[in-house]
Amino acid sequence: MDFIFIEELRVQAWVGIYSREKAAPQTLELNLTFGVPDSAAEQDDIADTIDYAEVIERIRKELAERHFNLIETLGEFVVKLLFDEFGAPWVKIRIAKLGVMKGVRRVGVYIQRGRDGVSLPPAAG
C-alpha cells in the first residue's frame, strides 16, 4: 500500500467543553497519513488515487461548520470521512490544540485505524 501524508495542516474548528472553547473557533494542527491504491503510481492518473487537495478542502469545511465536545470525537469524524467519502483503507491522524494552556505547546490525540480488515503498519514517530 502506498501512503499520502499531509503535515501541519492548520484549520479553524469548534471543539471543546469549556466556555472559552465554545466562544470562538480554535486553531488545530492536523497531521494525516492515509493509504491509497498502488494503482495510482502505476497508472499516473489522479482518478486512481485520493486527491489531497479535496481532502484538505473537505476537512476545513466540515470542521468550520460543526462543534465537537471532544478532540477524540473530532478525530474519529475525520477518520470516518476518509474511509467513507474518499475510500482510504487505512488512516493515521494526529490532532493538536495549540497553546490552550499556559506552559503547554500542544494537547491532542493520535488515532490509527484500518478498515475492513486492513492491517495496520507499525506505528512510526
CB count within 10 Å of CB 47 equals 8
Sign, CA dihedral 69-88-121-53, equals: negative
Torsion-angle region of 88 (φ positive above 0: left; ψ -120 to 50: alpha; else: beta): beta
What the block records as the C-alpha cell of 21 is 472553547
Give catalytic status of residue 102 as yes or no: no
Question: Catalytic one among 22, 61, 97, 102?
Answer: 97
3-state DSSP percent of the chain in helix, strand and coil, to 5 = 35, 40, 25
Residues marked as catalytic: 97
